[in-house]
Amino acid sequence: MPATLLSPFRHGGLGAKLGGLLAGVFLLSLGALWTVQWLQRRALEDLLALEGRERAAMLVQAIELTSRPLRDFTGDYAQWDDMVRFVSDPKKTWAAINLDVSVERFDLFGLWVLRPDGTLVYATRGEDTAPPSPLPVTAREVQELIRQPPERTFFIFEPDRLLELSLAPVQPSADVKHASPPLGWLLAAKQWDERHLQLLSSLLNCSLRVGPPGGPLPPPPPASLTQRQVLPGLAGRPAADLQFTVRAEELAVAGSYNFSSLLAFGAGWILSAVLVVGALYAWVLRPLSAIGDSLARNDATPVAPFTQRGDEMGRLARLVETAFAQRTALELNLADRARLGRELHDGAIQTIYATGMTLAGVRGTLRTHPATAEQAIDSVRSALNATIRDLRKFIDGLEAEGGRSPRLGEAMRSVLTLMQGIRPFAFAIEVDDAAAEDVGEEARLHLLQIVREAASNCARHSRATRLEVTLRRRDEAIVLQVTDNGGGLDTAAESKPGRGLSNLADRTRELGGALRLESAPGRGLELQVILPLTRSAPA
C-alpha cells in the first residue's frame, strides 16, 4: 500500500483514523457484496445460456413439427395414382378440383407439378384468379434438386417473404419403398408469415424475427438472450436466420432484486455509518477533545460536563479533574512554602540577625552606658515579640491579628531602628499619611518587608551611611521610594539576582505593581515600588 494512503493513519488524528477505518470497512463490505452479486450474475448468465440452448432445441423441434404437414402433403399427393396420370395427361379440371382446392385447404403459398426432367406441368396458388406463381427456384436449381432430392424441407429467403418448400417424387401408390424411377415431381411451398411466427413464438415463449443469413444480432433487452437458428436452403446452404430472443422473468426478478439489495445495503450502511460516527463522536471523540483542550488550557472546565458519565470516558474525565485539583493543591502548597520562605528571609531572619548584632553592641555599653544598653534591650525585646507575632501570622495564614496595627510610618521607623544594630547608618522617613491610609493591610505588610530588605542591604552590603524612605501618592498610584548612598551595584551585570531582589520582585508582582531599580557602582541605589491605587486601597 502506498505511503500516501497510510499517512492519515500514521500522522492523522483519532477522528481521521476512525473515518479511514469506516471507509475501509465500507469498501471491503461493498467489495464483498459486489463479488457475491457478480457470482450471482455469472450464475444467472449461465442459467440464461442454458435456457437459450434449451429454447434452440425446442425451436428445432417446433420447426420440425410445423413442417411435417407440408412434408406429409407432398408425400401423400406425390404417391397418388391420379397424380401419376395427371403428370402424363394434365387435365385442368382435375387440377382445379384436387390441387387448387388443396392449396387453400392446406394454407399453401403455391404448388408446382414437374415432369421427370424438371419442366413445369402445372402451377397453382389456389382457387383465386391470380396468375400462378413462377417457380421460386431457377431451372438450374431444379436440376440440382431432382438429382439429389432433399430429405427435409428447405427454405428460400426473399426480400418480402420466407418460403418453406417440400419436394417429393411422383410414384405409383404401390411403390411403398419408392424403388421405381420418379414419374414426375411435386413441389409445394408455404410462406412463413406473421401468423406462423406468432404460432412459433407462443409455442416457445420467445420473440422471433427473420433476417438474412449471418446478419448482426440486435442487442438483447435486460435479462434476455438473443440467438439465431440457421434455416437450411438449397444443398444445405444457409437461407435465412431465425433470430429468437429469450426473456427469463425469474432472471429479471433476480437482477432487480440484486439492484434493490445493493440500494438497501448502501442505504443501510450509510445509516449505520451515521449512527456509528455519531456514537463515536458523542462517546469517544468529544470527550477526548475536551480532555485535550483541558490539558492544553491547563483548566478542568472543559471536562466538567463529562465527569457525571459512568463509562470509561467519564472515569478518565474525573481522573483529569482530580489531577487538576491535586495540581492546584500542590501549587498552593508550593506557593505557601515560597511565601513562608520569603517572609522568613525578609522578616524573621533579618530581625534575628539585627537583634544579634544589637545585642553584640549592647555587650560593650552595658557597663559604661547602662541606660543606652537598657534602651537597646527593650528595642530587641519589642523586635522579637513582633517577629513572634509575624511567624504566627504567616504559619496560621492570618491576614492580621486583632488589635490596632501601628501606623505605617512608625512601623518603618521601628524596622530601620532595629537594622541600625547591624551597622550604624542615618535614615530619614517621609510618609504621606493620606497615602498611607490608602494602603491595605496586605500591601502594608509587603511594603514593610520591602523596607526591611532595603535596610538590611544598606547595613550589610552597600556600606551606606544614609537611607531615605518616602511614601507618597502620585496621580493614581502609591509610590514607595528607598534611596541610599552606598556602593551601588551593576544591574546590567547581574545575570541572576539574589534572593532579596527576587523577593522584592515577587512582592511587587503580587500587589499588581511595578518595581524600578536604578543603581550603578559607586552611585548608591534607588528603589521604587509603584502600586495602583485600586489594588493598594483597603477593602
Q: Report mean pLDDT in 10-residue bins for the chain, 539 residues.
A: 54 67 79 80 79 84 90 93 93 91 90 94 79 83 89 88 93 89 94 90 86 84 82 89 80 67 76 81 80 82 83 83 76 65 62 69 70 73 71 57 65 84 86 86 86 84 88 90 84 58 85 88 88 62
**pLDDT score at 490:** 62
Beta-carbon count within 10 A of 387 CB: 19
> Of the candidates 515, 373, 56, which has an alpha carbon nearest to the alpha carbon of residue 246?
56
What one-letter code names the amino acid at 331? E
What is the CATH architecture assignment of 424-539?
2-Layer Sandwich (3.30)
> Of the candidates 298, 322, 326, 303, which has an alpha carbon nearest to the alpha carbon of residue 313?
303
Q: What is the DSSP string of 502-519?
A: HHHHHHHHHTT-EEEEEE
* Contact (Cβ atoms closer than 8 angstroms) between residue 382 and residue 414: yes
Please determine, looking at this structure, whether the domain spanning 14-252 carries the CATH number 3.40.640.10: no
Between strands 466-474 and 426-431, the pairing is: parallel
Tell me which DSSP letter residue 118 carries: S
> Of the candidates 280, 273, 281, 282, which has an alpha carbon nearest to the alpha carbon of residue 23?
273
**pLDDT score at 341:** 63
**pLDDT score at 75:** 92
The domain spans of the chain are 14-252, 310-398, 424-539
**pLDDT score at 539:** 42
Burial-class residue 239 by CB neighbours within 10 Å (0-12, 13-18, 19+). buried
Q: How far apart are CA 291 and CA 303, in angstroms?
A: 6
Tell me the residue length of the chain: 539
pTM over 0.75: no
**pLDDT score at 391:** 66
Beta-carbon count within 10 A of 39 CB: 10
H-state helical runs in 420-498? 433-437, 441-457
Domains 14-252 and 424-539 share a fold: no
